[in-house]
Amino acid sequence: MDIISQSCQHHFSYEHPRVSTSTIEKSYGHWTFQEFFQTCRRPLPCGHPCGGIPSENSCAPCLVEGCQPHYGDGCCPVCADHWASNAVIQLDCGHIFHHACIKQMLQNRWHGSRITFGFMTCPLCKSSISHPDLYEIMSQLIHLYDQIKSKALTRLQHDGLFNSSDVTDPSGKYFQDPTGFAMDRYAYYMCSKCQQPYFGGEGRCQESVVEVDPSDLVCPQCSDTTKNKICSIHGAEYVLYKCRYCCSPALFHCFGTTHFCDPCHSNYTTVHNKPASSLPKCPAGPCGKQLPGSVCPLGMDHPPTGEEFVIGCAMCINTHSF
């Protein structure tokens, strides 16, 4: 036996005399000793050392191949690597994963531009992830979830959809679940400047476009467009924009970056990503139509078609346009 093995045998035998070095080598032979001593190491009832994280109050089941039939595949469901390649963690739902896999999943957060929270659920049963060792990171994520939940429910109420058929119909997907309905209907994004969530349109719009550059995701508070136009009463949450492509109030905010009126939204492929030189000048009608005359339908000066512009606060002017 080499010097490292002798040193580890002495250290391990002193703390846990029931577990011999030969047991360690048979159970976790493809671990380095450094990896092994980053685990719990307490002896389990079967005699094998625990392969969980050191900070656990109770040990995970034995994952040595052949000892516990339930874990006979010997692989983490996330990375598909052998259990013994890393310390494991048993979530409150009962499922076991590599501790590093679950922690990395939480740190990576959602995929894409739109904020979603599916990553906060167990990969196997979809229960909310819960474990004392993950409390700190989960607390931050739960705080973010509560922020967006509050914003989404407020918007649902203001849009008059709190008692819509999606929520009241027993056969509906979101029956008696206005929170689920609101979180699915409205898309929220993380501002690249202040790192705070903001409303970016309806979720159905996000599904039809490619991902945007994260640096383009800017909330109204941080946007140069809203300078000096943030409402002193309602803040920037209900800022009313002009449609980017015509002289109409915007009813839709899509992709976290672009505001549309209803006609331009329904036919966004005719105007979206068009060069500014090909867009109509003010007065501009929906869907790229040039209106006659020189009077803007909005009755105000604004930047050229193709640029974002704030009309005012939707709450203060008593409109349902967002």
Q: Is 205 a catalytic residue?
A: yes
Contact predicate 259/276, CB 8 Å: no
Q: Active-site residue among 205, 219, 247, 282?
A: 205
Distance, CA of 49 to CA of 40 (rounded, Å): 8
Contact predicate 272/255, CB 8 Å: no
Q: Active-site residue among 50, 254, 261, 264?
A: 254
Q: Is 261 a catalytic residue?
A: no
Contact predicate 183/203, CB 8 Å: no
Q: Take residue 274 and report the two structure tokens written for it.
A: 């068009």
Contact predicate 62/46, CB 8 Å: yes
Q: Take residue 314 and report the two structure tokens written for it.
A: 């939707």
Largest CA distance in the chain: 93
CB atoms within 10 A of CB 237: 20
Contacts 24+ apart (CB under 8 A), 1-8: 4/33, 5/33, 8/33, 8/36, 8/37
C-alpha to C-alpha distances, 199 to 146, 171, 311, nearest whole angstrom: 14, 29, 17
**Residues annotated as part of the active site:** 205, 254
